[in-house]
Every structure is written in structure tokens, then in C-alpha cells.
């Protein structure tokens, strides 16, 4: 595995479902990703399966299928061994610097220490990610040069 980059983001199933069904902080965080072609949403099929199941349970299967079709175009796919935690494995295999999750256990200090043995990744809530996201500084770090501004419509 290479070095994780802060321009690669994983959203746990709870955040993906909240983005679609609730908006709020989950949408604000993922809109940062969608606005920039140089920022990648990384997700395994298993992670998307989990999110699709949540959407189907909370809304309906048609909406879940439509969402899955769209997210397939938006995400960068990764594979990971069966049985691994879908969000953490997606981050590891996809060299992501951030995992967005509402899961308190994933965001705990104990989990953070364990993860640091294997990869450099930040696990935080969508509202924390959205508040700290600095596109200009991130662009300079990962792309170099002057930040050109957003280059995609997050609603397209």
C-alpha cells in the first residue's frame, strides 16, 4: 500500500444514507468531495451494499436502486477481503486519508490508536470534516499551484 492522501475520502454507510435521506452535515461534507474532480470518494461494493440496504429499509427499494446507480458513477471502487469493516477496509485499500462516520466506536481514541499502526487516517463526523475542509490548502498540498476553485456541480 502507498501513502494515504487527504484528497481521498470514505463515507461509511450511515453517512452515505444520511446524505441522500437527510441532507445536513452528511450532504455538506460529501458536497466538498463532489465539488472537486481532484477529490475522490472511495468505496467498496460491500460498503455500497450496506448503504443501499439502509436506504431501502428507511425509504424504499426504488430509491435505493436509483441511488446505487448514481453512486457507482461517483465513487472510485476498491476491493477488500471478505469480513473486513467496509469503511475501514475501503480507506486502507483506497489509500484514503479520511473516513466519515457517525459510529462512535470508529471515532474512539482506542480505534484511532489501532488504526495508526496500519495507516494514517482521520475518522470524524461529517460535520467535523465539513467544518475543517479547506479546499485551497488541500489543493496546494495534493495538486500544487493556485487553487482554481470548485470544478463540478455537486447536484449534477
Query: Residue 15's domain is classified under what CATH number?
Result: 3.40.50.1010
- Domain-embedded: residue 148: no
Query: How many domains does the structure of the chain reveal?
Result: 1
- Domain-embedded: residue 156: no
- Domain-embedded: residue 153: no
Taking the C-alpha atoms of residue 12 and residue 151, their distance in angstroms, rounded to an integer, is 25
Domain housing 55? 5-142
- Provide the whole-model pTM: 0.93
Taking the C-alpha atoms of residue 156 and residue 13, their distance in angstroms, rounded to an integer, is 22
- Domain-embedded: residue 149: no
Taking the C-alpha atoms of residue 58 and residue 50, their distance in angstroms, rounded to an integer, is 12
- pLDDT tens readout for residues 111-145: 877 878 878 889 999 999 999 999 999 999 999 99
- Domain-embedded: residue 108: yes
What is the residue-averaged pLDDT of the chain?
93
- Domain-embedded: residue 52: yes
Average pLDDT over residues 74-86: 94
Amino acid at each position: 500500500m502507498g501513502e494515504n492522501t487527504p484528497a481521498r475520502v470514505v463515507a461509511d454507510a450511515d453517512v452515505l444514507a444520511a446524505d441522500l435521506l437527510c441532507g445536513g452535515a452528511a450532504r455538506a461534507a460529501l458536497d466538498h468531495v463532489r465539488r472537486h474532480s481532484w477529490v475522490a470518494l472511495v468505496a467498496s461494493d460491500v460498503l455500497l451494499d450496506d448503504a443501499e440496504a439502509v436506504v431501502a429499509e428507511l425509504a424504499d427499494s426504488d430509491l435505493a436502486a436509483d441511488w446505487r446507480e448514481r453512486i457507482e458513477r461517483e465513487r472510485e471502487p476498491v476491493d477488500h477481503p471478505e469480513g473486513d469493516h467496509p469503511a475501514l477496509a475501503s480507506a486502507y485499500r483506497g489509500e484514503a486519508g479520511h473516513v466519515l462516520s457517525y459510529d462512535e466506536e470508529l471515532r474512539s481514541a482506542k480505534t484511532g490508536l489501532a488504526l495508526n499502526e496500519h495507516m494514517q487516517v482521520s475518522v470524524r463526523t461529517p460535520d467535523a470534516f465539513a467544518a475543517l475542509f479547506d479546499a485551497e490548502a488541500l489543493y496546494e498540498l495534493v495538486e500544487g499551484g493556485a487553487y482554481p476553485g470548485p470544478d463540478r456541480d455537486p447536484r449534477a
